Amino acid sequence: MRITIYSAILALFAALTGCNTNIGEVTLTYNKATAIYGDLDEIRSASLITPSREIEDPEKIFMGENMLLIGEKGLGIHVYDNNDPNNPTPMSFINLPFTDEFFVHKNFIYAVSHYDMVKIDISNMAAPVIVDRELNAFAEPAMNDNGEALIGFTYEVVTETLKLNGPEARALKEESVLYFDYMNNMIPNSSIPSSFVGNGTSSGLGTLNRIALTNDHLYVITGSSLLTFGNTPTDINLLDNRYIQSGMETVYEDDEKLFIGTETSMVIVDVSDGENPTVVSTYWHPQSCDPVLPNGDIAYVTLRSALDNGCGGEENVLTTVDISDLQDPRNIDDIPMESPYGMCIQNDHLLVGEGENGISIFDISSPSYPSNKIKFSHVVYDVIPHPTEENRILGAGENGLSQYEVDYDNGTMTLISSIAF
């Protein structure tokens, strides 16, 4: 069941207007999440490869030289043969329960599977193998009286009478969803692992990632923490888990630096000492959703307002930031946009997906000042460049994935094929 999000404002309004004549009580309508428990050992030992299946609730995507990977929310990863881009065909399904976030580098998939970090060898895509699983890297399992672990939640909209100053009523002033365990006791939102809550719509190897890789280390951001893993050909192991800043959404690695987009800032983290990430600086901006894409001495930041499914704020802009001095990033320019989401760079051009408002392409031969904007009507949220074909891109739209051929000289964008969901 999809989560129906009710804002804290709506909850507060319900508190003010709920009908209840008993003093000290309040009637509220809210989204209630009830815990589901299961056998973790059984889930972890499930068969990794299964036949291809229909795409129902897609999330992450990845574009390789001759394959496409499409995440299925909470279930695993669809594998498509893309040797013929005019007709991508389903190959198989990687069965990895509770996976909403993954990253691909060379012959490996790195995936967050609720409590665990998993590394999968895909050198033989017909027979992928789990190389290592770092158990409970993100949290220790919460258990019920039967020794079963918390594995998720069911969601429903309920109307209940609560104590006026009780923990539930107080929580609804700040939260939109309340979580409850097997005894119907409320679980603080801060205690819920981020993998259970979900990360929203995101797409792999564009700018909407929560995983980055550099040298022999793997980095994963949660809502407020940065986790560092050692990474060798045969294993991964958690080395560090440290608080960075609340509201972290995306991470992009460039030249041993992590560029983290948060709801209110761009955070630059030095990872040249792989096991000891160090915050170099923070570039603050108005509240919004915030992917970041570095390009030499320049970083591009897209800010999207709440009116366009953003994270608050009122701005829809593409910001260029001077990062020649990493300790003192400075604003260069703000370009008005309609609803910017993910970005990529290809052939000295910056491509910005704007969802239902199409895709914008800028000339960045002068990186500080994107110019000569071209707009196409194709619905694209995140955009991913092909690793070897210099004019082919993958666009993630509302109803599917589409491959396009872009002629930058003549300013055309031609649809090659689509995978509908």
Instruction: Examine the domain organization and report whether 304 and 317 are in the same domain.
Output: yes
Instruction: Examine the domain organization and report whether 209 and 189 are in the same domain.
Output: no
Instruction: Examine the domain organization and report whether 89 and 163 are in the same domain.
Output: no
Instruction: Examine the domain organization and report whether 310 and 337 are in the same domain.
Output: yes
**Which residue segment(s) compose the domain that 14 sits in?**
8-39+148-197
| Residue 252, in any domain of the structure | yes
Q: pLDDT tens across 223-258, in order?
A: 899 999 999 999 999 999 999 998 898 999 999 999
Contacts of 42 (CB under 8 A, 6+ apart): none
Domain boundary among 156, 176, 197: 197
Instruction: Examine the domain organization and report whether 377 and 315 are in the same domain.
Output: yes
Q: pLDDT tens across 260-309, in order?
A: 998 889 999 999 999 999 999 999 987 777 689 999 999 999 988 866 55
Instruction: Examine the domain organization and report whether 133 and 58 are in the same domain.
Output: yes
CA distance 46 to 97: 9
pTM, rounded to two decimals: 0.86
| Residue 212, in any domain of the structure | yes
DSSP string, 226-275: EEEEEE-SS-EEEEEEEE--TTEEEEEEETTEEEEEESSEEEEEE-SSTT
Q: Residue type at 171?
A: A
Which CATH number goes with the domain that contains 326?
2.130.10.10
| Residue 1, in any domain of the structure | no
Instruction: Say what percent of the chain tops pLDDT 70.
Output: 89
Query: Hey, is 114 helix, strand or coil?
Result: coil
| Residue 143, in any domain of the structure | no
| Residue 338, in any domain of the structure | yes
Instruction: Examine the domain organization and report whether 280 and 206 are in the same domain.
Output: yes
Contacts of 28 (CB under 8 A, 6+ apart): 11, 14, 15, 18, 159, 160, 162, 168, 169, 172
Cβ atoms of residues 151 and 75 within 8 Å: no
Give pLDDT, residue 359: 97
| Residue 283, in any domain of the structure | yes
185 φ/ψ angles, rounded to the nearest 5 degrees: -90, 140
Give pLDDT, residue 192: 76
| Residue 3, in any domain of the structure | no
| Residue 101, in any domain of the structure | yes
**Adjacency order of strands within the sheet including 257-262:** 248-254, 257-262, 265-270, 278-284
Instruction: Examine the domain organization and report whether 350 and 385 are in the same domain.
Output: yes
Instruction: Examine the domain organization and report whether 178 and 284 are in the same domain.
Output: no
Instruction: Examine the domain organization and report whether 165 and 312 are in the same domain.
Output: no
Cβ atoms of residues 37 and 182 within 8 Å: yes
Integer Rg of the chain from CA: 22
Instruction: Examine the domain organization and report whether 166 and 314 are in the same domain.
Output: no
Give pLDDT, residue 92: 97
Low-confidence ranges of the chain (pLDDT < 70): 1-23, 193-207, 290, 306-313
Element at 40 (helix H, strand E): helix 40-44
Instruction: Examine the domain organization and report whether 192 and 205 are in the same domain.
Output: no
Counting the structural domains of the chain, the total is 2
